[in-house]
Structure formats: C-alpha cells, structure tokens
Amino acid sequence: MVNKSKPIYVTRSSLPPFEEYINEIKSIWDTAWLTNMGKYHNQLEQELIEYLEVDNISLFTNGHLALELVLQAMNLTGEVITTPFTFASTTHAIVRNRLTPVFCDVNPSDYTIDVTKIENLITDKTSAILPVHVYGNICNVYEIERIAKKYDLKVIYDAAHAFGEKINGQSVGYFGDASMFSFHATKVFNTLEGGAVAFADENIGEQLYTLKNFGIKSEVLVEGVGLNAKMNEFQAAMGICNLRHLTEEISKRKTVVEKYRNRLSGVNGIKIMHDVEGVQSNYSYFPAVFDELAFGFTRNEIYDRLKQNNIFARKYFYPLTNTFHCYPEQYDVNNTPVARHVAKRVLTLPLYADLDLEDVDKICDIILEG
Ligand code: T4K
C-alpha cells in the first residue's frame, strides 16, 4: 500500500536547482528593475521564439490574461466556436470579452474539437474558432485551417497544455492566427505563473504589447482599455532557468507515461492515450477514461479509492464549462454528448518528472485491485 504520510498530487511543479535561480536573479539587485518588460522578460521572449520555432511571442503574467487579451486584440465580434471540455479559463476569456461561446462537441478519440461538427455551428455572427489542444492532444489543425479560410474566421488556439509540441515537424504555435501557452506552476514549463501568445501578424503584437500595459501607448497617449498583464522579471528568470532543463523534464515525464501505459494498456474498460504518429508530445497530462460497465467501477469510485490512499488524481475537465451557471446565458448541454460522456468518466492521473515509478505501480495497483 502507498505510504499514507506521503500525498501524491496530480502534479508537482518543476524547479531548477536553487543556486541556479539565485545566481540568475542576482543582477536584479543591481538594477532594481523588477517588471515592465525588463531584461529577463526580453531575453525569455527571444529564447521562446527560438525554442518554439515561431515568428513572434508576447509574454504575460498568466495564461488566462494572455487568452483574454489576444481575443480583445483580434477585435472579435458576435460568436466564437469552442469546446466545453476545458478549464474554466477558455470559456471565461470569451465571455469576459462580451462574446458568445458556441459549444461544439469533442471527438471521442482525443477529446479535441470535432471538426466535422464545426461548419454546422457557423452563422453570420461567427467571428472566430477557439479550439483547445486539451491534455496536449493536438487538434486537427489542417481541417480547422480549411474551415477558417472558407468562412473567413480567425483561429485562436488554447494551447495551454501544448507547450513545445510539434506536428509533422511544425511547431503547434505555428497554426492559426494565435496560440496561447500557459506557464502556470502546474505546467510542463513554468514561470511560476505566466503565459504567452504566439502570433503571426505583427500588428497583433503591437496591440498585445499595449493592452497588457493598460493600453498605454506613450506617456501622453492611452489607446486601449487594457489591463495589467505583464510578466515580471522573477517570473521570466524562472522561465530562463526552467527552459535549460526542459528536455530532461519531458524525457522523465515520458518514462512515467510509458510506465502507466505498460500497466493500463489493454485493461478492459480503461481508455488511455497513446503516442500519435507525427506528433512530438510534451507528456503534459495522463487522462484515463473509466467505462463502468466494462471496468466494473465508476470514475468517482476510483477517484475516492485513490484519495483514501492519499493520491489526489483530478477530474479534469469536469464539470463541462457549458454547464456553468455563472454565464449570462445558459447553454444546452445536450449539444455536446461526447464531451458530457467523457467528463463523467475521466480522471487525470498523477504525472510529473520526479514521480517515482514505484508510485506509478502503486497507483495502478490501487486502480486495478477490483
Ligand atoms: N486554458 C486551459 C485549457 C487551462 O488548462 C488553463 C489552466 C488555462 C487556460 C489558464 O492558464 P493559467 O492562467 O492558469 O496560466 C490548475 C492550474 O492552476 C491551471 O493553470 C490549469 N489550467 C488547470 C488545469 O490546473 P487547479 O485549480 O486544479 O490547481 P491546483 O491549485 O489544485 O493544483 C493542482 C496540483 O498541482 C496540486 O494538487 C499540487 C500541484 N501544485 C500546485 C501549485 C499551485 C504544485 O506542485 N505547485 C503549485 O505551485 O488549476
């Protein structure tokens, strides 16, 4: 049995060696420059452009504000097609921009937007599609591009989970008009809190730069109703350090994922994700979907059983965002039956670079104990 005194959470933040970070931030004491697009901020932007192989990057204090502001920068109107199988942030960003989310179902294979259902949802009010690379599963970017071109729609990806991923050799941040990455403490790559937008059009970059600093264009000109969403120097320095260790981080995560796959593949009633040909994964999440009829236990029973053993898996992403009561409108949840099915059955299992393989074994033993 798992040692009850040692809780295992769904994830655990990666940190660089303490001395490395302390050495990195020493120079901040010489300059006393703490924020507002400082030296580390600019260095990290450059390093991420290279790492992610994208043309432009704009950094933010967190991923949510990055998403909210890129929607504002695009001057969208009316309706935005998106999915409800996601973190609250995705739909909140639409609603907080006074846009209407139109919920498209997800596909049962990888829980990303079902591209066969997008066109039916397009109306003369649709201005954009906001698909989510949920768990780092890359959406059908080619079909989304085709649809967006046909109907002249913007595409903004919620790539919060997809940092550093590639499809057919191309960076995930290359697709669409913009992609938002989250650098939250719980992500594969963290800047404590943080986020970024990768974008193609340089005009968007100018807008983002202004909007994240209250819309201030110059000392005497405020051009937009922006807010404060700037990444500070301590965040950026953490990013610079963490980036040096990322290859090792992802490779350790892969080992953990392989261990899970080894134990759970082929178990009747448990669906797990496998590598997809042509995709370079970051191994950010490990979702398992429990089919009660075939497996014999519900997702909630497994969740409780793990919790009794001090293991805290999470029900990401339950409840669906189209069931939230906080929005000005209520949505028909019957329009997204696949998302509803998955949200009731999914559990994301603990995954982080330093998770002991013995603990993975114990987690699997508890799941499979019957
Ligand atoms: N879009 C999508 C699709 C997203 O998933 C997210 C964020 C966003 C947009 C918005 O990006 P950000 O604005 O957050 O950059 C967590 C994260 O806070 C959130 O970033 C993430 N998605 C979401 C899926 O998960 P919670 O409320 O479940 O986190 P919490 O505090 O329960 O932490 C989970 C576990 O992580 C803890 O049990 C232990 C570990 N942990 C947590 C923290 C805060 C650490 O090891 N270190 C830490 O500092 O939302």
- pLDDT score recorded for residue 26: 97
Rounded Cα gap, residues 267 and 279, in angstroms: 25
SS3 at position 59:
strand
Give distance in angstroms: CA of 13 to centre of ligand 1: 10
Tell me what percent of the residues of the chain surpass a pLDDT of 90.
Answer: 98
Q: Residue 2 pLDDT > 60, yes or no?
A: no
Name the CATH topology of 18-244: Aspartate Aminotransferase; domain 2 (3.40.640)
Domain with CATH 3.90.1150.10 in the chain: 246-368
- Residue range 358-368: mean pLDDT, rounded: 97
pLDDT digits (tens, 9 = 90+) for 51-68: 999 999 999 999 999 999
DSSP state string for 262-300: HHHTT-TTEEE----TTEE-----EEEEE-HHHHSS-HH
Q: How confident is the model at residue 5 (pLDDT cuts 50, 70, 90)?
A: low
pLDDT, residue 166, reads 98
Q: Encode pLDDT of 76-98 as tens digits.
A: 999 999 999 999 999 999 999 99
pLDDT of 350 > 60? The answer is yes
Main-chain phi, psi angles of 233, to 5 degrees: -70, -30
Q: Which atom of ligand 1 has the smallest separation from the CA of 182?
A: 15
Q: What is the spatial distance between Cα 286 and Cα 81, in angstroms, rounded to a whole number?
A: 26
3 state SS of 116: helix
Decide if 63 contacts 201 (C-beta within 8 A). Answer: no
Q: How many angstroms does the Cα of residue 62 sit away from the middle of ligand 1?
A: 11
CA distance 166 to 175: 10
Please state the atom number of ligand 1 nearest to the C-alpha of residue 89. 9
Q: Is the pLDDT of residue 3 over 70?
A: no
Q: What is the pLDDT of residues 259-279, one digit of tens each?
A: 999 999 999 999 999 999 999
Average pLDDT, the chain: 97
Is the ipTM value over 0.90, yes or no?
yes
Query: Is 4's pLDDT higher than 70?
Result: no
CA dihedral 328, 333, 334, 337 (to 10 degrees): 150
Q: Is 259 a catalytic residue?
A: no
Ligand 1 — pocket residues by CB below 6 A?
A: 9-13, 62-64, 86-87, 89-90, 132, 158, 160-161, 182, 184-186, 195, 312, 316
Name the β-bridge partners of 113: 106
CA of residue 144 to ligand 1 center, whole Å: 27
Closest residue by Cα to residue 348 from 303, 309, 307, 296: 303
- Determine the Cα–Cα distance for residues 271 and 254; give it in Å rounded to an integer: 18
Q: Which fold would CATH assign to domain 246-368?
A: Aspartate Aminotransferase, domain 1 (3.90.1150)
Residue 329: other Cβ atoms inside 10 A: 8
Q: In the chain, which segments carry CATH 3.40.640.10?
A: 18-244
pLDDT by residue (tens digit) across 266-318?
999 999 999 999 999 999 999 999 999 999 999 999 999 999 999 999 999 99
Residue range 176-220, pLDDT digits in tens: 999 999 999 999 999 999 999 999 999 999 999 999 999 999 999
